[in-house]
Amino acid sequence: MFKKYFIGIDIGGTKIYGGLVSPSGKIARTVKVSTPSNARAGAILAALYQVIKDLLKEGNVPLKSIIGLGVAVPGVVDGNGRVVVTPNISLSGVDLKNILIKRYKTVVAVGNDVNFGLMGERWLGAAHKANNVVGIFPGTGVGGGVIAGGRMIDGAQGAAAELGHMIVDPNGPRCTCGNTGCLEALAGRWAIERDIRAAVKKGEKSLIVDIAGKELRQIKSGALKRALQAKDPLVTRVIRKSAEALGSACVSLNHIFNPEAFIFGGGVVESCGEHILPVIEKVLKQDPFFARLNSPRVLQAKLGDDAGMLGGVAAVRQECDPKDLKDSSYYPKIALTASQKVRVKGKLMPGAFFIRADGKVKEPGDITPSYLTESDLEVICRKGPEIFIIACAAGKKTSLAVKAAKFLKKKKIIPRALPLGEAVKLYSSSDDRRAILFNL
């Protein structure tokens, strides 16, 4: 008998990204192709079919082992899985869900990419198990999604929670949508680029000219990060202004939804989050109405490019037979032998190793388990754990470099150094997203 899988697909403006995913969320295979540009719907569908075909072939999985297919689309999708509008690719008007059901004869979910991304974060990422959560994703524009009372808010036509077009300053700049003072017109990357360009044109000196080129046609998130790290006054000011606009939007959203957490993702936050999130937290804390209530947490998204694809799976999972969802845990089973040796999935481990937050078991490579540096932690803590367990065999010790400890604090990852037995117990029983290092 073949194992059962889901397929999640994220159709982006430039790439179509698909994954073969186990019922507990483990990614077995991924495939990425370019989105045909300026193409008709037929060509995009053909590329989508090819991704599914490649996933099945590379994963050596027959179609009948696929329990469900979830597809994230960059646009408005109605409650029946019909694409209403996609501004950047030509799928507008395509009855995508029904087309896919007919072709693959499986359960299908089709939805907005940002909404699905937030569902992914709720399933496996930063919004783990949250029932009330608002997601804001500043990229070129600003995407948004809201889960209230455990349900995704999609509105009468599927166009709800377009948080980027909330008006935060009626006297503000014009937005691409035609309104003035939208959040996106103040905090999207195009707005950040517009403000930097205008200041440079007026003669203000900035490092960004050296980093991104004189014409400043496009300023990538990485370039913004470098300028911020160098404390460039212009970029610092513009990013701060954009963070304050995000903060004001959060104040209003907090009054409407009173979420447990705000999740921020997207390119700009991935690169510059440490300069943006504290400002948002501060603006939220200044709201006198909430002075005696808890401020919602402000968190960075954890799934990165996998969010939309995994969110597609999270969405279709809800419509599947619960007995199909039974699967060994997302994390591998660890056991200790009587002589304190470690077994992972039944296999005896010869020496030190670590397991990332996505459940992948890795050899230490260049990492010395007795002394961890910041770059070691960047490797071990990829895929966004909430806790980092250090399991030390008798007589072994692990210490952290100062910068490594700072890294954990900044990423809000809680370190727990424990003797072997206790560490394995915590790893096996924890509900949190977790990474573990074995110093054996």
10 Å Cβ neighbour count for 90? 16
Q: Is 420 in the site for Zn ion (CB under 5 A)?
A: no
Nearer to Zn ion, 144 or 415 (CB): 144
Instruction: Calculate the dihedral angle through the C-alpha atoms of 123, 128, 134, 135, rounding to the nearest 10 degrees.
Output: -60
DSSP lists the bridge partners of residue 430 as none
Q: Is 45 in the site for Zn ion (CB under 5 A)?
A: no
Only segment of 97-105, 177-185, 281-289, 396-404 that touches Zn ion (CB under 5 A): 177-185
Minimum distance of Zn ion from residue 175's CB (angstroms): 3
Nearer to Zn ion, 65 or 180 (CB): 180
Size of the site for Zn ion (CB under 5 A): 5
Q: Which two tokens stand for residue 20?
A: 């073969």
Only segment of 89-97, 182-190, 193-201, 286-294 that touches Zn ion (CB under 5 A): 182-190
Residue 184 host element (H or E): helix 183-187
Q: Is 177 in the site for Zn ion (CB under 5 A)?
A: yes
Nearer to Zn ion, 33 or 177 (CB): 177
Q: Binder to Zn ion among 165, 302, 356, 383 (CB under 5 A)?
A: 165
Only segment of 118-126, 169-177, 348-356, 373-381 that touches Zn ion (CB under 5 A): 169-177
- Give the Cα separation of 21 and 70 in Å (integer): 11
CA atoms within 13 A on the CB side of 390: 20
Nearer to Zn ion, 174 or 410 (CB): 174
Q: Are 112 and 239 in contact (CB under 8 A)?
A: no
Minimum distance of Zn ion from residue 257's CB (angstroms): 20
The two beta strands, 387-392 and 434-439, are: parallel
Amino acid identity of residue 350, one-letter, is P
Q: Binder to Zn ion among 77, 133, 182, 277 (CB under 5 A)?
A: 182
Nearer to Zn ion, 177 or 336 (CB): 177
Mutual angle of helices 267-285 and 189-201, in 10-degree steps: 90
Question: Which are the contacts of 155, defined by CB distance < 8 A and separation ≥ 6?
Answer: 161
Q: Is 175 in the site for Zn ion (CB under 5 A)?
A: yes
Nearer to Zn ion, 164 or 273 (CB): 164
Minimum distance of Zn ion from residue 165's CB (angstroms): 4
3-state secondary structure 276-330: HHHHHHHHHHCCHHHCCCCCCEEEECCCHHHHHHHHHHHHHHCCCCHHHHCCCCC
Nearer to Zn ion, 45 or 175 (CB): 175
Only segment of 24-32, 38-46, 164-172, 297-305 that touches Zn ion (CB under 5 A): 164-172
Nearest 5°: phi and psi at 190?
A: -65, -30
Q: Is 162 in the site for Zn ion (CB under 5 A)?
A: no
CA atoms within 13 A on the CB side of 75: 21
Minimum distance of Zn ion from residue 178's CB (angstroms): 7
Only segment of 93-101, 176-184, 322-330, 432-440 that touches Zn ion (CB under 5 A): 176-184
What does 336-379 look like in DSSP terms, one character per residue? E-TTS-EEETTEEP-S-EEE-TTS-EE--TT--TTEE-HHHHHH
The two beta strands, 66-73 and 76-77, are: unpaired
Nearer to Zn ion, 25 or 181 (CB): 181
Residues 326-365 that bind Zn ion (CB under 5 A): none
Residues that bind Zn ion (CB under 5 A): 165, 175, 177, 179, 182
